[in-house]
A and B are shown apart, each in its own frame.
Chain A
Amino acid sequence: MGDVLAAIVQRPNFLTFVIIFLWGFYIMITRYNLVKKLIGMYLVQTSVIFFLVSISAKKGATVPILLSTTDPVHAFDYTNPLPHVLTLTAIVVGVATLGVALALCAAIYRTYGSLDEEEILKRLE
């Protein structure tokens, strides 16, 4: 038990990720308002992106631009740029998803006059 606790405390980024992910998931499941559901969905997406960035963090490293062209390259001195690039793409994908989702929300509101899921289901009957 103590080992598990220590392992968790030593990795605050994992803990943060899990909390944000589960929080978003909880909101997605329990809320009836469609926009609130979207907020939950966005939290889930953001938590994964946060995880991806946090695993690439490196102490005492610099941006991946060669410090000098003559010295041999020490990979240890530089951060890995790839996770950040992946994150950018993932953010773009997330924004696009959110855009489509909000457009759907707007269309639903125009058709049914409500964003409450129970209200909409009642009108669908």
Chain B
Amino acid sequence: MSRHLPVLLFLLPLFAAISMPVVCLKHRMLSWPIAITVLSSMVVLSVMNLMSIMHNGEVHYALSGWPPPLGIEWVADGLASIMIVALSLLGLVALVFAGPTSPKDLRGRVVHFYTLILLLVSALTGIVFAGDLFNLFVFLEVAALSSYALVGVAGGRALVAAFRYLIIGTLGASFYLLGVSYFYAVTGTLNMGDIAEKLPHLLTSKAVVGGLLFMFVGLGIKMALVPFHTWLPDAYTHAPDSVSPILAALVTKVALLGWIRIIFWVLGAKVVVYDIPILLFVGVLGVFAAVIGAVLALTQHDLKRMFAYGGISHIGIILIGVSQGNQTGFAGGVLYLLNDAVMQAALFFWAGVAMRQYGVRTLEDVGRIGGHAPWMTVALVILAMGMIGLPPTGGFFGKWYIILGALEAGSYMAVGAILLSTMLTLAYFVKIFEPVFRQTPTTSDMIRVPTPLQFKVSLGVTSAAIMVLGLWSDPLVELLLHVALPSGL
């Protein structure tokens, strides 16, 4: 039974997504309970899957019984299983946030919303488990298509942002597919394990180098790496408040995971292409992303936009972590990835509640929250501690292990970049806190309505998770070092 768990984890949300429009045609109120049930059972199944992986080792599942080099392989190793647990938990919290009643910002398109969310979750599960390059492409596209539709689901201004996201995202997918076809032309196979065996003799081939570059550009666009990040702030800022948390938490991180898989499981960590160590290349990209993202965040006025740029800079920090070429750095990078997923969800929850309850969109309005909602201020303080990286939050321990890894590798540029980006993060949170604590008496014309329980629950759970990830970071890092490391590190 436990052998089939990885496939069940993918099929469950997929079939729920397909049947949702039919079942909920007449009974729209059923869509939320169905989605919640699916995600809760995914949480249970993913924890069971992680347990079984820890005890019995990784599972290589050949779909419909065709053995790997010919058939489609599903690889459930430690890293994938941990990521799936995080993915289903965050999906569940995001659904709680969206709430059972038709949210106003979706303009009544509730069934569309839950269908797309389930489709997105199943595609992301596919990306995490996919054992060959072409399946990765298909799932990337399914995830991207549901994200475009989710951004534009409520219409209005978001439509233009969704269209731009679609144009740039499709260009990325085309580049990725081009890279895959180069690899296929050279090696004659698409299976990641098979390519990993054949590639070491072929690294001088121009086709492999070209294919690698195209794949990196494609996935770089999907994960909003700095020169290719322009679609992200618009899409996440204008997306409905129920949509942006789940997109910000999951989509870019899972694309990043796909990149990690290609670098460490297909190429191998120590690969040198034309005298350039691949990890150095990734590390330099990470340094640029970490610093430039934080600088751009500092210049923003819109809260959601600022948080989106914060996420872009954190992609860079994760890349710096995994590119140090030692176990500490890799574990730190993955820990920071999990952390960042939680923090991004929490930040966009916060921005959503601030918008819905207090009409806060920009930095100038933040002062309205100060006196009225102490719990919002507390959540913001915890979030800021996590984003800046103060102990005892998960953000601190992630950065701590990344810096330890960088010192071990003797890469002082990486340490400097992380410290600089931390300073800049501090600076833009000071910009948010200043009006909150100044307590300017602003006359708000909003009619004060009690905050719904679901907002408090989702924001509370994610804020607590930021703390928990820090306080229990030791066993987590232990687990990552034990099951999630690629071979050859």
Contacts and interface: CB of A to CB of B under 8 A. Distances in A.
B155 A45 contact: no
A108 B158 CA distance: 10
Contact of A48 (B138, B149, B174): B174
Contact of A111 (B159, B171, B174, B184): B159
Interface size class of A (residues with CB under 8 A): 20 to 34
Contacts of B178: 48, 51
B185 interface: yes
Nearest to A105: B163
Contacts of A86: 134, 181, 184, 190
Contacts of A111: 155-156, 159
B181 A89 contact: no
B11 interface: no
Interface string A69-107: 000000000000011001001100100110011001101
Interface in B172-199: 173-174, 177-178, 181, 184-185, 190
Contacts, number: 77
B177 A52 contact: yes
Given A111-B159, A120-B160, A97 B177 contact: no
A97 B163 contact: no
B163 A44 contact: no
Interface string B142-173: 00010011001001110110110011001101
Contacts of B156: 111
Interface size class of B (residues with CB under 8 A): 20 to 34
- Which of A44, A82, A97 has the most chain B CB atoms closer than 10 A to its own CB? A97
Contacts of B170: 41, 44-45, 97, 101
A65 interface: no
A100 B159 contact: no
Contacts of A108: 159-160, 163
Given A55-B185, A96-B145, A104-B152, A44 B171 contact: yes
Contacts of A93: 137-138, 141, 173
Contact of B163 (A34, A55, A96): A34
A37 B167 CA distance: 8
A6 interface: no
- Which of B149, B159, B173, B178 has the most chain A CB atoms closer than 10 A to its own CB? B159
A90 B167 contact: no
Given A41-B171, A45-B174, A107-B159, A97 B145 contact: yes
Contacts of A34: 163
Nearest to B176: A48
Given A107-B152, A111-B155, A90 B177 contact: yes
Contacts of B152: 104, 107
Contacts of A38: 167
Given A28-B171, A44-B174, A45-B174, A104 B134 contact: no
Given A48-B181, A55-B185, A107-B155, A100 B145 contact: yes
Nearest to B165: A104
B163 A101 contact: yes
Contacts of A120: 160
B184 to A, nearest CB: 7
Given A44-B171, A45-B174, A111-B156, A101 B166 contact: yes
B148 A89 contact: no
Contacts of A100: 145, 148-149, 166
A63 interface: no
Contact of B167 (A28, A83, A107): A28
Contact of B184 (A41, A83, A97, A104): A83
29 contacts: A28-B171, A34-B163, A37-B167, A38-B167, A41-B167, A41-B170, A41-B171, A44-B170, A44-B174, A45-B170, A45-B174, A48-B178, A48-B181, A52-B181, A55-B184, A86-B184, A93-B137, A96-B145, A97-B145, A97-B166, A97-B170, A97-B173, A100-B145, A101-B167, A104-B152, A104-B159, A105-B163, A107-B152, A120-B160
Q: Which 10 A-B pairs have the closest CB atoms?
A: A52-B181, A93-B141, A55-B185, A108-B159, A104-B163, A48-B178, A44-B174, A48-B174, A48-B177, A107-B159
Given A82-B190, A97-B170, 14 more contacts: A38-B167, A41-B170, A41-B171, A51-B181, A86-B184, A89-B138, A97-B141, A97-B166, A97-B173, A100-B166, A101-B148, A111-B155, A111-B159, A124-B157
Interface of B: 134, 137-138, 141, 145, 148-149, 152, 155-157, 159-160, 162-163, 166-167, 170-171, 173-174, 177-178, 181, 184-185, 190
